[in-house]
């Protein structure tokens, strides 16, 4: 339970009773991502206390008849759960854009709804989690190790941000700015989509992640602290620039401005890394005009990308276990978040999860 900024504690809550339209999930694993660190620090617009955890993988422990029919799952089935819980009725939902649904007020989703909203067990930093009538679940094969199966979330982001939104396909050069778990997921997704060349940038301290990017399908990596990234991207692309630039660095606004220099004429830039609502210095908008660049903001992940991610996970084609660095118990949630945020000296996480 998060009770305030940088305050997590263990608490016992009663298990909710399940009605006709909802269900109860026994959590197998909950992935941890950059936004957990922001939520922990208190910078996300959520109300405390709440149960955090928005990347749930688990087994249906109880389910109402109507929910079982609507979702096509039953007790004992393993499912991946989407973070967002849409309302189903607002304009965004009716337009098929439920990632921007605000119909239930603010950020409504697993890991974000306060305890005050019954039945309270909305997050996946827990043994059990409540599934609302509008929660979205996807079946996941039971024989995939939980630490890999739970990567449906970052990998789904890779498919939506690096492939679906910029319509990446064969012949495209994809430049991924930032080699964190979303950056690596973007490499895997772009490779799966048939991208022609994939380039990944990172800092000197990202050497291990950049090496992993190579193993997962990147053709070239650039250490921006020791190389001139603009010059390198030009060289590698025959002077044209990248058809698709995916910006997934954490907190630093500079790569957003750099993306306009890296992108090819007619290219697409996907902005998915948040910068604490700070402006971007040296953003030369004329470059977007002169090159007819399409700028795409990406928030969250939706059905098609999650399903592409789950199929790839189940296929076993990609050595995803190499991304997984840590399993933490529930009572280690704070250390887990601090490790991901790079606050634990001598320990670095790429993908980690809580295992209750
Ligand atoms: Zn996440
Ligand atoms: Zn809605």
For the stretch 285-295, what's the b/e string if a residue is b when 16 or more beta carbons lie within 10 angstroms of its beta carbon? Answer: eeebeebebbb
State the Cα–Cα distance between residues 230 and 119, nearest whole angstrom: 52
Distance 95 CA to ligand 2 centre (A): 9
Distance 105 CA to ligand 2 centre (A): 10
Residues with Cβ < 8 Å from 44, sequence gap 6 or more? 35, 38, 107, 112
- The closest ligand to the CA of 93 turns out to be 2
State the Cα–Cα distance between residues 184 and 216, nearest whole angstrom: 8
Using a CB cutoff of 5 Å, list residues around ligand 1, an ion.
33
Distance 82 CA to ligand 1 centre (A): 10
- Nearest in space to 50 (alpha carbons), one of 4, 103, 101, 97: 4
Distance 63 CA to ligand 2 centre (A): 23
* pLDDT tens digit at each of 356 positions of the chain: 999 999 999 999 999 999 999 999 999 999 999 889 989 999 888 999 999 999 999 999 999 999 999 999 999 999 999 999 999 999 999 999 999 998 998 889 999 999 999 999 999 999 999 999 999 999 999 999 999 999 999 999 999 999 999 999 999 999 999 999 999 999 999 999 999 999 999 999 999 999 999 999 999 999 999 999 999 999 999 999 999 999 999 888 999 999 999 999 999 999 998 888 899 999 999 999 999 999 999 999 999 999 999 999 999 999 999 999 999 999 999 999 999 888 898 888 999 999 99
Using a CB cutoff of 5 Å, list residues around ligand 2, an ion.
86-87, 90, 93, 101, 103
Distance 160 CA to ligand 1 centre (A): 14
Specify the pTM: 0.96
Distance 34 CA to ligand 1 centre (A): 7
- The closest ligand to the CA of 94 turns out to be 2
Q: Could you tell me where the DSSP H helices lie in 22-90?
A: 34-41, 65-71
Distance 10 CA to ligand 1 centre (A): 21
> DSSP string spanning 213-263?
HHHTT-SEEEETTTS-HHHHHHHHTTTS-EEEEEE--SS-SHHHHHHHHHE
């Amino acid at each position: 339970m998060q009770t305030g900024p940088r305050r997590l504690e263990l608490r016992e809550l009663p298990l909710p009773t399940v009605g006709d339209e909802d269900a109860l999930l026994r959590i197998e694993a909950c992935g941890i991502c950059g936004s957990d660190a922001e939520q922990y620090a208190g910078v996300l617009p959520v109300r405390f206390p709440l149960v955090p955890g928005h990347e749930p993988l688990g087994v249906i422990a109880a389910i109402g008849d109507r929910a079982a029919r609507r979702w096509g799952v039953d007790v004992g089935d393993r499912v991946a759960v989407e973070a967002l819980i849409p309302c189903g009725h607002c304009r965004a939902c009716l337009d098929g854009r439920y990632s921007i649904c605000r119909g239930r007020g603010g950020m409504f989703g697993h890991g974000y709804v306060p305890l005050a909203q019954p039945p309270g067990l909305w997050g996946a930093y827990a043994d059990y989690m409540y599934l609302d009538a509008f929660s979205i679940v996807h079946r996941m094969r039971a024989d995939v190790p939980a630490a890999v199966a739970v990567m449906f979330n970052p990998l789904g982001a890779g498919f939506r941000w690096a492939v679906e939104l910029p319509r990446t396909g064969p012949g495209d050069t994809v430049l991924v700015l930032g080699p964190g778990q979303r950056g690596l997921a973007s490499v895997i997704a772009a490779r799966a989509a048939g991208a022609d060349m994939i380039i990944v940038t990172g800092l000197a301290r990202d050497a291990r992640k950049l090496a992993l990017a190579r193993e997962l399908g990147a053709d070239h990596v650039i250490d921006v602290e020791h190389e001139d990234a603009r010059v390198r991207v030009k060289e590698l692309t025959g002077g044209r620039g990248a058809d698709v630039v995916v910006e997934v660095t954490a907190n630093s606004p500079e790569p957003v401005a750099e993306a306009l220099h890296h992108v090819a004429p007619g290219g697409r830039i996907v902005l998915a890394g948040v910068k604490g609502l700070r402006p971007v210095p040296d953003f030369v908008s004329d470059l977007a005009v002169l090159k007819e660049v399409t700028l795409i903001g990406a928030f969250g992940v939706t059905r098609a990308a999650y399903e592409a991610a789950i199929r790839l996970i189940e296929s076993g084609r990609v050595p995803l276990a190499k991304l997984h660095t840590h399993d933490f118990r529930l009572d280690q949630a704070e250390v887990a978040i601090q490790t991901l945020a790079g606050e634990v000296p001598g320990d670095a996480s790429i993908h980690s999860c809580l295992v209750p």
